[in-house]
Amino acid sequence: MHLKYIKEIIKADVLAYEPGLELEINTAFGSDLMSDVLAYVEDDTLLITGLTNQQVIRTAEMLDLKAILFVRGKKPCNEMISLAEDKKILLMSTKESLFTVSGILYNNGLRGISI
């Protein structure tokens, strides 16, 4: 699914690396546990999380993830934004909850990873 399309259907704000909107992801994974993300997520996955700290960006970097969507109105700090720009990782934010956003994306055809 095109990340630009995801941005539109959930009305997300772009916070870092806007060129990333042109890319596509195949699956999504929602979690605040970065170790679970490291355990299960393959690349081409959208990470959906309410956790905002440097380790979220680092986790995405380790897994070559292209995009992170922050839920519940969480906004990453400036250091996170500049690290994401540096690593070419698209950061988006939405006011909706993890559950609601996941439901909207699922309804539009996006699926989770297989565990």
What's the rounded Cα separation, in Å, for the pair 32 and 37?
A: 8
The two structure tokens encoding residue 53: 């700290």
CB of 9 to another protein, least distance (A): 26
CB of 57 to another protein, least distance (A): 8
Instruction: Tell the residue number behind the tokens 């559950």, with chain if given.
Output: 99
Q: Which is nearer to another protein, 32 or 96 (CB)?
A: 32
Q: Which is nearer to another protein, 7 or 25 (CB)?
A: 25
User: How many Cα atoms are found within 13 Å in the side-chain-facing hemisphere of 91?
Assistant: 29
CB of 71 to another protein, least distance (A): 14
